[in-house]
A and B are shown apart, each in its own frame.
Chain A
Amino acid sequence: MQYMLIHAGAPGLDDAWNDEAWAALNAWLDEAIGSGVSIEGAPLRLDADATTVTVRDGRLIVTDGPYAETKEQVAGYDVIECASLEEAVGWARRHPHSWMGSVEVRALAGDSPVVHLPDPPAAGKTRYMMLVCTDPAVSARAEPAEPWVAEMSSRGVRLFGSELAPTGSARTVRGRDPGAIVIDGPFAETKEQIAGFDVLECADLDEAIEVAARHPMARAGIVEVRPFRSLGEE
């Protein structure tokens, strides 16, 4: 079973990272990659670089900022392979992000597993995390995403993605072991919630917006695109 670990943190998170946190992250990665648990993961740009895409009454609406105003911001992700939710929560507890902010654990609900990505992206391309989110203000039911997935995968702009298990089964880890606490539910207490994700590789933001706008959830919810942050980049 695959699980997504969503890293979240306060806006000043970058400044808070110190040698100890970096060392802990390296140790975590060594262990998770070495044992084959870690499949893929990357740091992401914070809210200021996010763009939200919705389609309402047939009109495309592009706005600066994230899918919802949250105290903590999405800062990165990992996808891990575990036997159970408990085991995944265990990995989240050891991840330094749980004490730098919080780590939300969500089971992947799709049937196409996440695979390891070659690094860096193809020449001239940028990777984006596309968060597919619900919007309780919209009553429209989403159409199936399969045609979008098929088209965007064959076009080469969608690398992988998955629906996530409902937030009811989400766990959020906060604090530093052994004092870390595990809370039922997602990291953000907002009406809008992350329901799935896709990793895109596009020429630029305009292409990412075009791809996001054609996802059925752009009409029935909110789609956010957020650039990856390459390691070592400011």
Chain B
Amino acid sequence: MAAALDGVFREEWGRITAALIHQTGDWDLAEECAQDAFAQALRRWPGDGVPDRPGAWLMTVARNRAIDRLRRGRTYRAKVEELAVMAGREAGDTASTDGSLAGADGSDVVGDERLRLIFTCCHPALAMEARVALTLRTLTGLSTAEIARAFLVPEATMAKRLVRAKQKIAHARIPYRVPPASALPQRLPGVLAVLYLVFNEGYSASGGDDLIRRDLCDRAVALTQVLAELLPSEPEVSGLLALMLFHRARQAARVDARGDLVTLEEQDRSRWDRGEMELGRRHLADALAARRPGQYQIQAAIAGCHAAAASAAATDWARIARLYRVLAELTGSPVVELNRAVAVGMADGPAAGLALLGQLEAGGALGGYYLLAATRADFLRRLGRNAEAAVAYEEAAALAGTGPERRFLNARLAEVRARR
């Protein structure tokens, strides 16, 4: 029952809060009523059994709760009336035993409301960290304490951040709606950036609470899936979804039994999740068919190249280097240039990679970035220039932040020192 409820919770939380925020304009009320509805389900479902349409059941309970609270507050007469109409319709739906009604009228409206909520939570007038917190709390139902734990900040700080974000929405009147089609190209990247940040927070860091971080990845994927369904004609959404799926497919192989990082080259490819990669490939193919490339599609294509290679040696590095070139032109990011240098180093040899790296170092944009030093160290090691490689590894290890990265660099350092 607990597992079933957790599944329903993840599926339905965002729909319920989105609908209630739309109808009442009150974010806190929406959250509290959603919470109440799930609490009631937890009490009643074990005895009564899970209803045929659990989402409609929860929505009805949450709406009635909202009506009740608003009535007791003796305010918002219009809102109460609107809610009562919606609740009546929903209850009628639930009562009908005819399954053919299900979803026909209700789900489309609700779908739109969730889209509204996504765009409001990810509004550019909110700070990035506020957008992330609000999205996780309101759309995925993660508790304030859980979000605080995932981002390694005190719960009180996270609670304040959420309160502030909701206040700004109210005070500055950030609209609760999906931007018009003309504004979509400008607004969508901000939404995708939030989803990708949540995913990366769960995926990349190995510090903190592992379980909750893995959960962040899953929630980011689920939300991106929802967004891809709601915006089927936006290839970057499918591109981002494909990118996340390719990454998540490799999750089990990324860290060894001791918790140390395993490079892509050395990962046990039999531990990659083939089903997940296939799903990623399908989403990427859908996205590319629209012929409107973007940074997430290109990154997904690169991840797809790695996924397609049966072994590290079989990787099509020349293609990856070309994709990075396109990505670098699109983003102008020096980190992308660094990745391109790595790919060129693999395709055309470490000397070619080192030459590209030289240009990047001269630019100075990546000064103090440990991966720049680590990449130089790797090229020098492969060229047999062990003494220079050792210096570069020392520099990289000093700059690297967390445990596994540093342990990896120190292991390489010991290796090149032994060869000297």
A contact residues vs B (CB 8 Å cutoff):
45, 48-51, 60, 62-65, 126, 203-206, 209, 225, 227, 229
A60 — which chain B residues lie within 8 A by C-beta? 186
**Pairwise interchain contact A205-B173, C-beta atoms closer than 8 A:** yes
B164 — which chain A residues lie within 8 A by C-beta? 48
B173 — which chain A residues lie within 8 A by C-beta? 126, 204-205, 227
B99 within 8 A of A: no
B148 within 8 A of A: no
User: Roughly how many angstroms separate A205 CA and B125 CA in the complex, as a whole number?
Assistant: 9
Contact A62-B124, Cβ < 8 Å, known A205-B173, A206-B179: yes
Can you identify 6 A-B contacts, CB atoms within 8 angstroms?
A: A64-B126, A65-B127, A205-B125, A205-B172, A205-B173, A205-B175
Q: How many B residues are at the interface, by size bracket?
A: 10 to 19
User: Roughly how many angstroms separate A209 CA and B164 CA in the complex, as a whole number?
Assistant: 20
B282 within 8 A of A: no
Residue of chain A at shortest CB distance from B130: A64
Residue of chain B at shortest CB distance from A125: B173
A209 — which chain B residues lie within 8 A by C-beta? 125
**Pairwise interchain contact A48-B175, C-beta atoms closer than 8 A:** no
Residue of chain A at shortest CB distance from B171: A49
Residue-wise interface mask of B (58-84) relative to A, using a CB-CB cutoff of 8 A (1 in contact, 0 not) = 000000000000000000000000000
B187 to chain A, nearest CB (A): 9
User: Roughly how many angstroms separate A51 CA and B130 CA in the complex, as a whole number?
Assistant: 14
A163 to chain B, nearest CB (A): 25
A62 — which chain B residues lie within 8 A by C-beta? 124-125
**Pairwise interchain contact A49-B172, C-beta atoms closer than 8 A:** yes
B172 — which chain A residues lie within 8 A by C-beta? 45, 49-51, 126, 205, 225, 227
**Pairwise interchain contact B171-A45, C-beta atoms closer than 8 A:** yes
Residue-wise interface mask of B (120-148) relative to A, using a CB-CB cutoff of 8 A (1 in contact, 0 not) = 00011111001000000000000000000
A51 — which chain B residues lie within 8 A by C-beta? 125, 172
**Pairwise interchain contact B174-A205, C-beta atoms closer than 8 A:** yes
Contact A227-B171, Cβ < 8 Å, known A51-B125, A64-B127, A209-B125: yes
Residue of chain B at shortest CB distance from A65: B127
A60 to chain B, nearest CB (A): 6
User: Roughly how many angstroms separate A45 CA and B167 CA in the complex, as a whole number?
Assistant: 11
User: Roughly how many angstroms separate A49 CA and B125 CA in the complex, as a whole number?
Assistant: 9
A65 — which chain B residues lie within 8 A by C-beta? 127
**Pairwise interchain contact B171-A64, C-beta atoms closer than 8 A:** no
**Pairwise interchain contact B175-A49, C-beta atoms closer than 8 A:** no
A64 — which chain B residues lie within 8 A by C-beta? 125-127, 130, 168
User: Roughly how many angstroms separate A209 CA and B183 CA in the complex, as a whole number?
Assistant: 12
A11 to chain B, nearest CB (A): 12
B125 — which chain A residues lie within 8 A by C-beta? 51, 62-64, 205, 209
**Pairwise interchain contact B168-A48, C-beta atoms closer than 8 A:** yes
User: Roughly how many angstroms separate A48 CA and B126 CA in the complex, as a whole number?
Assistant: 10
User: Roughly how many angstroms separate A227 CA and B170 CA in the complex, as a whole number?
Assistant: 10
A66 to chain B, nearest CB (A): 12
**Pairwise interchain contact B168-A49, C-beta atoms closer than 8 A:** yes
Smallest CB-CB A-B distances: 6 pairs: A62-B124, A204-B175, A51-B125, A64-B127, A49-B171, A126-B173
**Pairwise interchain contact B171-A204, C-beta atoms closer than 8 A:** no
B175 — which chain A residues lie within 8 A by C-beta? 203-206
- Best-surrounded residue of B126, B173, B175 (most CB of chain A within 10 A): B173
